[in-house]
Amino acid sequence: MKIQDYLNTDYAQKCREAYNKAKAIQDKTNATITFIDPQKRLNDKLEGRLKGVAIALKDNVSTRDIKTTAASRILDNYIPQYDAHIVDLLNKEGAVIIGKSNMDELAMGGTNLTSYFGLCHNPYDLSRISGGSSGGSAVLVAANVVPCAIGSDTGDSVRKPASYCGVVGVKPSYGRISRYGIIPYASSLDHVGYFTTNVKDAALMLEVLSGRDDRDMTSSYNPVENYSELLNADIQDKKILIFDNVLAAINNSEIVDLFNSLVTALTDKGAIIEHVSFNDDLLRAMLPAYYIIANAEATANHSNLDGILFGHREEGESTDDIMINTRTKGFGPWIKKRFVVGSYALFEENQERLFRKAQKIRRLIVEEVLSKLKDADILLAPAAPGAAPLIAGQTTDELSDESLIADNHMVIANFGGLPSMTVPMGYIDNLPIGVNLTANPFKEQVMFDVALAIEEYTGLGGAVKEVL
């Protein structure tokens, strides 16, 4: 499904269909936390670039008067009093929000297995995970329910599920889209992202969602370009860097073959291909550094969830007791583990050794990627070392290069605030696998252009997988 399908048609009918379909696939996918009947919105006169386009929001996007849980028990009754900045923008452009999608609890996860509302199933194989944390949004786009769904991306939470679910997933530059109203995970790494079925829609969505917002001091004043109009698949002389460390760390040769064929095709289209290699030790330090920074910020970011002012409350003898009881019962065990890690890294006696060291590693990695991209346009690598894992799980060696590097390299774009996106690369055993493109800060246009060239080669623009 494409955004174009909605424009100049009976969008009301399509929105109702989308809403009904979201409900219909719920039993199989569990992709939605809250369904929003579009009828009320459809009574409004809609205008704008997304006139009548059905859209789903990850359930960490604040929606006024509509429950917003971030898939956590501690917010299972929380109804925001305000709309996130991007909700204002979507409303202004005529979009119709039909649901709040499933996610990992507080966006802290990469599997969607940690949701308080249960895990989310992959449309291509319901016994497999959707990936996370923006799993529900990826599924709703992949299952042909909506042409676009909003997610958030702190490590690879849009781009990884996009790979697993065979859709386009975009995380633009830090500051490109306002974070105001997005329930945070880790502020310095959080980005608003989104899913579409094709690159053109992805370019259009960025036009709609981007721009300076005075309520987010980190949002950028850089002018928003007409990405979708300027979109051009001509990649003659575009310089593309092949991320060799990632390829070397992937054990699945089919993925490497798929990727190499793609690279050959890009060469044929006139792109200049160059292989780059990062310091492996630095890359091995990437995930631990990410884990420390993200969880340190998260433990502070979620200190507001204490049952005093909003959300779930467990009673107690004193306000201290209320806070302790609420937090004890409100969070899942994986969240508590992350808070412990984050707090530990911030203890005065540990800060230098853990938190500040992680910041140094982050800076070194960013310096390295920026220096490599200095004279180039795109850093290219498979988005994951494999297709979506089975829900039942499989044992992985978390300290292997495949896990540390190939499965987590997309964190680099969060470290540096670089625009990064995943587009479908092909299928292995009928399961989709994506390719990841990362560009220089605020060079989204060239990222979209190369992505379009890839899409033309794969022919996977608009690809979906019906569940019913």
Q: Is 314 in the site for another protein (CB under 8 A)?
A: no
Q: Is 413 in the site for another protein (CB under 8 A)?
A: no
Instruction: Choose the binding region for another protein from 55-63, 125-133, 280-288, 389-397 (rule: CB under 8 A).
Output: 55-63
* C-beta of 80 vs 419, nearer to another protein: 80
Q: Which of 130, 134, 157, 420 is catalytic?
A: 157
* C-beta of 128 vs 312, nearer to another protein: 312
Q: Shortest distance, CB of residue 186 to another protein, whole angstroms?
A: 8
Q: Is 187 in the site for another protein (CB under 8 A)?
A: yes
* C-beta of 184 vs 386, nearer to another protein: 184
Q: Shortest distance, CB of residue 332 to another protein, whole angstroms?
A: 17
List 92, 215, 275, 329, residue binding another protein (CB under 8 A): 215
Residues in region 218-247 near another protein by CB under 8 A: 218
Q: If residue 150 lies in a helix (H) or strand (E), which one and from where to where?
A: strand 148-153
Compute φ and ψ for 16, nearest 5 degrees.
Answer: -65, -40
Active site residue 58: yes
Compute φ and ψ for 84, nearest 5 degrees.
Answer: -60, 155
Instruction: Choose the binding region for another protein from 113-121, 174-182, 270-278, 436-444 (rule: CB under 8 A).
Output: 174-182
Q: Is 90 in the site for another protein (CB under 8 A)?
A: no
Active site residue 157: yes
Active site residue 67: no
Q: Is 186 in the site for another protein (CB under 8 A)?
A: yes
* C-beta of 61 vs 464, nearer to another protein: 61
Quickly list H helices, 331-388: 333-346, 348-351, 357-373
Q: Is 101 in the site for another protein (CB under 8 A)?
A: no
CB neighbour list of residue 403: distance below 8 Å, 6 or more residues apart: 287, 396, 397
Q: Is 347 in the site for another protein (CB under 8 A)?
A: yes
* CA 68 to centroid of chain Cα atoms: 18
Secondary structure class of 21 (helix, strand, coil) = helix
Q: Is 427 in the site for another protein (CB under 8 A)?
A: no
Q: Is 431 in the site for another protein (CB under 8 A)?
A: no
Q: Which of 62, 133, 163, 220 is catalytic?
A: 133
Whether 312 and 330 have beta carbons less than 8 Å apart is answered as yes
Residues in the chain, total: 468
Instruction: Choose the binding region for another protein from 78-86, 127-135, 331-339, 393-401 (rule: CB under 8 A).
Output: 78-86
- Nearest one of 176, 220, 182 to 100, comparing CA atoms: 182
Q: Is 180 in the site for another protein (CB under 8 A)?
A: yes
Residues in region 248-307 near another protein by CB under 8 A: 296-297, 299-300, 302-306
Q: Shortest distance, CB of residue 429 to another protein, whole angstroms?
A: 40
Sign of CA dihedral 59, 60, 66, 67: positive
Quickly list H helices, 235-354: 244-249, 253-268, 280-301, 319-330, 333-346, 348-351
Q: Is 440 in the site for another protein (CB under 8 A)?
A: no
List 222, 277, 351, 403, residue binding another protein (CB under 8 A): 351
Please report where in the chains the tokens 């490590």 appear, as a residue. Answer: 155
Q: For residues 64 and 360, what is the distance between their CA atoms, to the nearest angstrom?
A: 39
List 4, 26, 34, 188, residue binding another protein (CB under 8 A): 188
CB neighbour list of residue 410: distance below 8 Å, 6 or more residues apart: 155, 156, 159, 160, 383, 420, 422, 436, 438
Q: For residues 379 and 267, what is the distance between their CA atoms, to the nearest angstrom?
A: 14
List 6, 195, 339, 355, residue binding another protein (CB under 8 A): 355
Secondary-structure breakdown of the chain: helix, strand, coil percentages, each rounded to the nearest 5: 40, 15, 40
DSSP conformation class of 46:
P
Whether 59 and 99 have beta carbons less than 8 Å apart is answered as no
Q: What is the DSSP string of 400-464?
A: SHIIIIITTTTHHHHHHT--EEEEEEEEETTEEEEEEEEESTT-HHHHHHHHHHHHHHHT-TT--
Q: Is 325 in the site for another protein (CB under 8 A)?
A: no
Q: Is 308 in the site for another protein (CB under 8 A)?
A: yes
Whether 137 and 195 have beta carbons less than 8 Å apart is answered as yes
* C-beta of 217 vs 392, nearer to another protein: 217
Q: Shortest distance, CB of residue 57 to another protein, whole angstroms?
A: 12
Instruction: Choose the binding region for another protein from 81-89, 232-240, 331-339, 382-390 (rule: CB under 8 A).
Output: 81-89
Extract the tokens encoding 410.
């997309």
* C-beta of 72 vs 445, nearer to another protein: 72
Active-site amino acid positions = 58, 133, 157
Q: Which residues bind another protein (CB under 8 A)?
A: 60-62, 68, 70, 75, 78, 80-82, 84, 179-184, 186-188, 214-218, 296-297, 299-300, 302-306, 308-310, 318-320, 322-323, 343, 346-348, 351, 355
